[in-house]
């Protein structure tokens, strides 16, 4: 009987240590650190917001052009490397990669 009572005491003590369970999106949760609630204190007029949107649009256009140029550059380099490797293995015969000897 004492072993059963010891198990029950152990289970009760474990329940007390676990604490109270909360739902993942509990409304009463306290936020701390960098994951706290965000408060936006900056107010913009409609004109400032239009200027802000235009600036963001320009930044996105510049970033998009930059990404396209990087991808094109990578594709060109990849094609050149593949052509050089195939030419060195003599799987393709391209005169462009051969140096002409002086006569």
The Cα 52–Cα 31 span in angstroms is 30
Please give the full DSSP string across 47-100, using - where no structure is assigned.
HHHHHHHHHHHHHHHHHHHHHHHHHHHHHHHHHHHHHHHHHHTTSS--GGGSPP
Question: How high is the pLDDT of residue 79?
Answer: 93
Q: What is the dihedral of CA 14, 16, 22, 24, to 10 degrees?
A: -30
Question: How high is the pLDDT of residue 85?
Answer: 84
pLDDT per residue of the chain (103 residues) written in tens, 0 to 9: 577 888 888 888 877 777 666 666 655 555 555 666 666 667 888 898 899 999 999 999 999 999 999 999 999 999 999 888 887 877 766 665 555 555 5
Question: How high is the pLDDT of residue 87?
Answer: 77
Helix (H, G, I), strand (E, B) or coil at 4: helix
């Amino acid at each position: 009987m004492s072993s059963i009572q010891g198990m029950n005491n152990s289970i009760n003590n474990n329940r007390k240590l676990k604490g109270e369970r909360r739902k993942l999106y509990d409304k009463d949760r306290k936020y701390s650190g960098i994951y706290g609630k965000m408060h936006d204190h900056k107010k913009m007029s409609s004109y400032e917001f239009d200027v802000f949107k235009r600036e963001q649009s320009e930044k996105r256009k510049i970033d998009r052009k930059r990404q396209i140029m990087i991808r094109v550059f990578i594709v060109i380099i990849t094609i050149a490397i593949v052509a050089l490797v195939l030419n060195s293995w003599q799987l393709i015969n391209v005169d462009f990669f051969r140096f002409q000897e002086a006569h």
